[in-house]
Amino acid sequence: MAFRLPASQLCKAAAANPASAIRPLRSLGIARNVPQQQLRWLATPTSSPPVTRNATGSKGPTAIVFLNMGGPATTDDVGDFLSRLFADGDLIPLGRLQGYLGPFISKRRTPKIIKQYAAIGGGSPIRKWSEHQCEEMCKLLDKMSPETAPHKPYVAFRYAAPLTEETYAKLLADGFGNGKGGRAVAFTQYPQYSCSTTGSSLNELWKWRQRLEGKAGPLEDGKDGTIQWSVIDRWPVHAGLVEAFAKNIEDKLAEYPEERRDKVVLLFSAHSLPMSVINRGDPYPAEVAATVYAVMQRLNFSNPYRLCWQSQVGPSAWLGPQTATSVEEYIAKGQKDLVLIPIAFTSDHIETLYELDQEVIGESGHADTVKRAESLNGNPIFIEALADLAKKHLDSGISCSAQMGLRCPGCKSDRCLESKKFFAGQTTVPEA
């Protein structure tokens, strides 16, 4: 693997010895991939680096595609959101009854969920936050990784606009694929991998890739001219993610009087999963637990803590303990100082703003002592963490994590089989 230096350091090397800058850099294996034209610039120390927001590096442009479930932007969008959600066999497997039961359940559920979105201001803020996070992250990446710049931000939602098919069509219209190749990174915004969330988004991305791209090319270089995909599929213990969560917890703990502070119970809360999904071998509970433990390590285990699970839907068995009952039970035991920490979401939405704030805390009878840590939203530490994850991924030359290629022991899905084969089999730009 070639040793690669950022442009700023190459510039310093050239400035120190402008006349003979090119040959030694090449012979050292440094900048082996940097085109001659760029090296010529390096040998002229008085010129400034040709790195601007829109400068194209030797490997750019790069599309960064944030994957998430999305949410209804207005109460009018709730019906469509729920009907897509209940049609997703990766999230709610209803087998041959999917086409009949899915629309039936979603229609029946819509009025109740409309009221919940109305109570949080009329819609989910998930699109606003996702677009903001992706745009800001791409600005940082342009500086951190000039060779893959410009980094172009895209959001692909599973159940709400902008839907995966819409975003895929936009990528093609923007000059990726269509015989031109180009690089895109599918970046899941679920830090912990579940086949019902990230897995579903990747299966959907693969489906639209087959429908919209098929096989283009072949081109002169033997490649087929389709988009070259790689995936950031999980990041449960990334140091920046852990730091952002830990800081938000410290800020919330600071609101308690000093003499009570270290006895406050930290209640980490993650969206639950049906037991059938867990017994299939889904990696999500283990990865959520890994995040919780990493955050507690960063906090030096300052407080007692538990992990509980929220947002169960329907009558089947789900992983517990439930967040709402855990709060009630601690209060009944006399433990009224509690901080709730949403640990599996990166922005606010109905599960934080309605379920935790209005139902769990609002109805606890102790809204003054039961509090919630801020969601990550526009937190700059979090956005830097996203940029660091992307930079490391781009540098690594890998197409996805080793975990991505492995299916759950109980998986029977052909969608998983095909999409995992595709994403794990993509070859990314090799480091010479």
Which sequence positions are flagged as catalytic? 238, 388
Judged by beta carbon distances under 5 to 8 A according to partner kind, the member of ligand L6N33NVT, ligand FES, none in contact with residue 130 is none
Q: How far apart are CA 291 and CA 58, in angstroms?
A: 36
Q: Please work out the total of residues on this chain that contact ligand L6N33NVT, with binding judged by CB under 6 A.
A: 25
Check binding of 282 to ligand L6N33NVT (CB under 6 A). no
Instruction: Specify the 3-state DSSP secondary structure of 420.
Output: helix
Residue reference for tokens 């209640």: 267
C-beta separation of 202 from 399 below 8 A? no
Report which secondary-structure segment, H or E, holds 331.
helix 323-332
Q: Which stretch binds ligand L6N33NVT (CB under 6 A): 10-18, 230-238, 260-268, 343-351?
A: 343-351
| Tally of residues, the chain | 432
Check binding of 346 to ligand L6N33NVT (CB under 6 A). no
Q: How far apart are CA 121 and CA 114, in angstroms?
A: 11
Q: What is the nearest approach in angstroms of ligand L6N33NVT to the Cβ of residue 268?
A: 13
C-beta separation of 190 from 344 below 8 A? yes
Q: What is the nearest approach in angstroms of ligand FES to the Cβ of residue 323?
A: 25
Say which amino acid occupies 350. I
Cα 341-407-69 angle, rounded to 5 deg: 40
Whether the ω angle into residue 150 lies within 30 degrees of 0, i.e. cis, is yes
Q: Which of 142, 351, 357, 388 binds ligand L6N33NVT (CB under 6 A)?
A: 351
Residues found near ligand FES in the complex (CB under 6 A): 195, 199, 280, 407-408, 411, 413, 416
C-beta separation of 217 from 260 below 8 A? no
Q: What is the nearest approach in angstroms of ligand L6N33NVT to the Cβ of residue 159?
A: 8
Residue closer to ligand FES by CB (options 90, 136) is 90
Q: Which of 161, 313, 331, 408 binds ligand L6N33NVT (CB under 6 A)?
A: 313
Q: Which of 38, 62, 124, 291 binds ligand L6N33NVT (CB under 6 A)?
A: 124
Judged by beta carbon distances under 5 to 8 A according to partner kind, the member of ligand FES, ligand L6N33NVT, none in contact with residue 197 is ligand L6N33NVT
Check binding of 271 to ligand L6N33NVT (CB under 6 A). yes
Longest Cα–Cα distance in the chain? 77
C-beta separation of 130 from 66 below 8 A? yes
Residues 356-415 that bind ligand L6N33NVT (CB under 6 A): none
Q: Which of 67, 108, 68, 66 is nearest to 86 (CA)?
A: 108
**β-sheet bridge partners, residue 230:** 185
Binding site for ligand L6N33NVT (CB under 6 A): 69, 71, 82, 85, 91-92, 109, 113, 124, 126, 190, 194, 196-197, 271, 273-274, 277, 284, 313, 344-345, 349-351
